[in-house]
Amino acid sequence: MIVTLKGNNPDPKKVELLTTWLEGLAIRTHFIVGQHQTVIGLIGDTSVVDIDLINSLDIVQNVQRIQEPYKKANRKFHTDDTVIDINGIKLGGGNFQIIAGPCSVESREQICSIAQSVKAAGSTMLRGGAFKPRTSPYSFQGMQAEGIELLLEAKRLTGLPIVSELMNISHLPLFEEVDVIQVGARNMQNFELLKELGMIKKPILLKRGLANTLEELLMSVEYIMAGGNENVILCERGIRTFETATRNTLDISAIPILHNKTHLPVIVDPSHAAGISSLVRPLSMAAIAAGADGLIIEVHNDPSQALCDGPQSLTPEAFDHLASDAHNVLQLMRGFKQ
Ligand code: PEP
Ligand code: MN
């Protein structure tokens, strides 16, 4: 439920009386103070709240029930786009960023050389998996703690903030200097993990599950936000369909739908969606045209030798081409919006 107060300077005593009364009904209040209006989001079992009573208060302009089960992530709760600050790099609300790097960290030389190339091409963040969720237990599982150390070296070398996947909350201490924690598609509904990540302040990149609806994605976001961490970036990375020509099917419609339903930034991973490197550039352009706030792209210095996801990885040269086209398409789209 959303209570919109009259004007931008409501009587603080009356507001306090209202919140104390609501808290007595076990309802938590979440204030969104805008330039022209103050809105109070009510979280909890609002069926016990008498709407007419709240509406009759002289500080209240109107009361709206939110039908959707996600509250804090809901655009109705927070009409402006949320901008996430990642070590000074802004993402969302018109700030477009490209995250690039290998699927997995493989060696010091590999991660440092890729980091330098993607930075030179215009990437503003470095990705690299240290803990890898592999379908087979016999496949390379990532360099784990050592992989994080090497990512940190690449961060010191280039100044690029780093993004890496966390699968087990017991590894959190290793992620102290990781700038964005990725929750992969396979863990989108690992609710215990999400609850723990709700208790920290670090930005979380939450990927859509392989077979999850957008509403399920938003409910997973809600687990993180309900705990108090509002720094969440959503990622569309392709879903399972009957189509076998691609690894997954990129759900382009997810971008405008999510923008309509939530204030959080939405980025796209065309690499895992396509599974084929030649499709990464066209899918990236489509994602930008549909309004994505950013891209996350797999880049490898020698894709044919990559220990994970080589077929979908771009060479540094192909990434350079993609990044410059991305900025051209972005400029073009900005022209349409004016
Ligand atoms: C990844 O980013 O390397 C990854 C495993 O992605 P996803 O969870 O989307 O499959
Ligand atoms: Mn990968």
Whether the pLDDT of residue 338 is over 80: the answer is no
Bridge partner list, 297: 100
Asked if the structure places residue 219 within a domain, the reply is: yes
Asked if the structure places residue 75 within a domain, the reply is: no
Residue 275 CA to ligand 2 center (angstroms) comes to 9
| Structural element, H or E, at residue 117 | helix 108-121
Confidence bin at 83 (pLDDT 50/70/90): very high
Q: Structural domain of residue 38, as residue ranges?
A: 2-64
| Structural element, H or E, at residue 238 | none
Q: Is 284 helix (H, G, I), strand (E, B) or coil?
A: helix
Residue 140 CA to ligand 2 center (angstroms) comes to 12
Dihedral angle computed from the Cα positions of residues 162, 163, 164 and 170, in that order, rounded to the nearest 10 degrees = 90
Contacts of 266 by beta carbon, 8 Å cutoff, 6+ apart: 233, 234, 235, 236, 254, 255, 258, 259, 291, 292, 293
Query: pLDDT tens digits for 71-80?
Result: 999 999 888 9
| Same domain, residue pair 89 and 60 | no
| Same domain, residue pair 52 and 120 | no
Q: Please tell me the predicted confidence (pLDDT) of residue 118.
A: 98
Measured distance CA(142)–CA(145) in Å, rounded: 9
Q: Please tell me the predicted confidence (pLDDT) of residue 337.
A: 66
Q: Is 282 helix (H, G, I), strand (E, B) or coil?
A: helix
- Please give the model's pTM, rounded to 2 decimal places: 0.94
Q: How many domains does the chain have?
A: 2
Query: pLDDT tens digits for 135-167?
Result: 999 999 999 999 999 999 999 999 999 999 999
Asked if the structure places residue 73 within a domain, the reply is: no
User: Which residue's CA is minimally distant from atom 4 of ligand 1?
Assistant: 184
Whether the pLDDT of residue 336 is over 90: the answer is no
Q: Between β-strands 2-5 and 60-64, what pairing exists: parallel, antiparallel or unpaired?
A: antiparallel
Ligand 1 pocket by Cβ (under 6 Å): 103, 129, 133, 184-186, 207, 237, 269, 272
Per-residue pLDDT, averaged over 297-305, amounts to: 98
Residue 298: give its domain's CATH number.
Answer: 3.20.20.70
| Same domain, residue pair 90 and 136 | yes
